[in-house]
């Protein structure tokens, strides 16, 4: 496994650049297709959220893979590679595993410990599997990351307050509004973040909630869950005029609201003060809205500079980091152990071919051999072969779990002159694709190896 991660996030890039790199569903699918078609990538996943865009690829060469993936990311962002490169971060092999595990735990989020990232990783996995770009390596890695994220949230209080980007943004809005109770709220969008925002302001006692979306049916579902009003985007002006708080997190590519429309709507009700919480990437709200009198805009850039993102106990962060370190070591050990299994299977297959060939030769030379004696000879031959192979195959499995363990499989291949094509075929045959929800991880290592090392006919030690 040689996993490469190339990405940019709120930690490495300004919001303006993140906006340009942001990918909708169709763009993600196209990028996956392009990465898989590149020279050095065998698998690909894209994780695109409101504050990060990352490409995960299983590559055969580090430098070649890095060049291919970086160029594709720049092309899809419509940004020269020279502009994008200073803001990219790169992780490879064990660091790539550690990075994704940290991401799934919420340790790399703008709001530490936020829980929405788990769903975003799951969606990235689903898209990669649907597109046929996520195979055994990246599907297994993502499945394990989801398990690690769940473990961190079960064993620590890293998300004890249920914080997310939505709740952090609303905290910032409350600092301006004083309270959400009794306020008129307009929510743009009907996705998971919009639904969460509507639920939180409803629980906080909002006076009225309107939900506007391009598809009114989806807006109706969200609005009904909070006793609100559903609107089409083109019909939101009256609700905007009444609003004290506007929350926007659509998946639109361009601006949903421009400054003239916001100014005109506000003028209908005496230009009452308005707080705009723009959680979309790219931004839904025209930056010119910042300059309107009486309007306070809180966006991802605002939140990135806010102390709200750091309000979590250091002890919980450290506990989650320890889980990541432990899980990375276990996962890499499992990967190394699993990688040697096809070689063991190929070795036993070669041994079986030798046994069969010699027994066939014996039958030709001694055709009148007593059947009982023939069975005894066959059993003895198989026992000898099994005993000779038992210690080295058991030992190579143990050694494979250590760093550099793949070298022992290489040694077996060379010592017994195994055909590399046979080992590759065994790898394909013994590595079925990961299905969504399938458990993948260190706990399955022993069973995985045992299934690939069948007992020799005629018994053995």
- pLDDT score for 1: 59
Question: How many angstroms separate the CA atoms of 116 and 32, rounded?
Answer: 22
Quick: pLDDT tens for 156-201.
988 764 567 788 889 889 999 999 999 999 999 988 788 889 999 9
Nearest CA to 194 among 226, 235, 238, 161?
Answer: 226
Question: How many angstroms separate the CA atoms of 340 and 336, rounded?
Answer: 7
Number of residues assigned to the chain: 461
Q: Is the pTM of this model over 0.85?
A: no
Report CA 292 to chain centroid distance, whole Å.
39
Is 50 catalytic? The answer is yes
Name 246's bridge partners: 186, 276
Q: Which two tokens stand for residue 301?
A: 């850039």
Nearest CA to 129 among 118, 141, 117?
Answer: 141
105: which residues sit within 8 A by CB, 6+ positions away? 113, 148, 149, 152, 153, 158, 320, 323, 324
CB burial of 306-338 (b: ≥16 within 10 Å; e: otherwise) equals: bebbeebeeebbeebbebbeebbbbbbbbbbbb
- pLDDT score for 431: 43
Mean pLDDT of 234-244: 90
Average pLDDT, the chain: 83
Quick: pLDDT tens for 107-125.
888 778 888 899 999 999 9
* 209 band by pLDDT with thresholds 50, 70 and 90: very high
**Beta pairing, strands 184-188 & 208-213:** parallel
Domains of the chain: 3-155 (3.30.460.30), 165-310 (3.40.50.720), 329-437+444-451 (no CATH)
Q: Which of 41, 50, 141, 338 is catalytic?
A: 50
Quick: pLDDT tens for 293-329.
999 999 888 887 764 545 555 778 888 999 999 999 8
Quick: pLDDT tens for 340-382.
777 777 778 888 888 899 889 888 888 888 889 888 999 998 8
3-state secondary structure of 185: strand
């Amino acid at each position: 496994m040689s996993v490469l991660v190339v990405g940019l996030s709120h930690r490495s890039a300004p919001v303006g650049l993140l906006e340009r790199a942001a990918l909708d569903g169709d763009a993600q699918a196209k990028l996956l297709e392009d990465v898989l078609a590149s020279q050095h990538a065998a698998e690909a996943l894209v994780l695109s959220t409101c504050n990060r865009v990352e490409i995960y690829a299983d590559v055969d060469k580090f430098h070649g893979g890095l060049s291919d993936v970086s160029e594709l990311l720049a092309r899809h962002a419509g940004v020269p590679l020279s502009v994008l490169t200073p803001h990219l971060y790169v992780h490879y092999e064990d660091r790539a595993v550690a990075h994704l595990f940290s991401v799934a735990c919420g340790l790399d989020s703008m709001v530490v410990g936020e829980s929405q990232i788990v769903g975003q990783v799951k969606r990235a996995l689903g898209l990669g599997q649907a597109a046929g770009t996520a195979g055994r390596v990246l599907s297994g890695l993502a499945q394990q990351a989801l398990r690690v994220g769940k473990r961190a949230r079960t064993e620590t209080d890293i998300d004890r307050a249920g914080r997310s980007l939505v709740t952090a943004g609303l905290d910032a809005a409350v600092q301006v509004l004083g309270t959400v109770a009794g306020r008129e709220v307009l929510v743009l969008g009907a996705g998971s973040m919009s639904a969460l925002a509507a639920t939180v302001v409803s629980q906080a006692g909002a006076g009225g909630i309107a939900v506007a979306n391009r598809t009114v049916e989806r807006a109706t579902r969200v609005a009904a869950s909070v006793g609100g009003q559903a609107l089409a985007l083109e019909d939101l002006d009256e609700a905007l005029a009444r609003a004290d708080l506007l929350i926007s997190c659509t998946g639109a590519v361009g601006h949903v609201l421009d400054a003239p429309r916001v100014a005109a709507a506000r003028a209908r009700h005496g230009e009452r003060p308005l707080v705009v919480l723009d959680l979309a990437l790219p931004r839904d709200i025209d930056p010119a809205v910042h300059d309107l009198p009486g309007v306070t805009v809180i966006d991802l850039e605002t939140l990135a500079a806010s102390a709200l993102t750091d309000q979590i106990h250091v002890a919980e962060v450290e506990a989650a980091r320890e889980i990541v370190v432990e899980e990375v070591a276990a996962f890499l050990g499992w990967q190394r152990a699993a990688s040697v299994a096809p070689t063991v299977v190929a070795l036993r297959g070669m041994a079986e071919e030798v046994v069969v060939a010699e027994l066939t030769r014996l039958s030709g030379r001694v055709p009148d051999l007593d059947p009982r004696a023939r069975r005894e000879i066959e059993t003895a031959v198989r026992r000898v072969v099994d005993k000779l192979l038992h210690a080295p195959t058991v030992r190579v499995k143990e050694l494979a779990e250590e760093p550099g363990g793949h070298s022992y499989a290489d040694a077996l291949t060379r010592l017994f002159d195994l055909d590399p094509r046979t080992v590759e075929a065994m790898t394909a045959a013994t590595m079925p694709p990961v299905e969504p929800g399938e458990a993948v991880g260190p706990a399955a290592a022993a069973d995985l190896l045992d299934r690939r090392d069948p007992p020799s006919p005629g018994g053995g030690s």
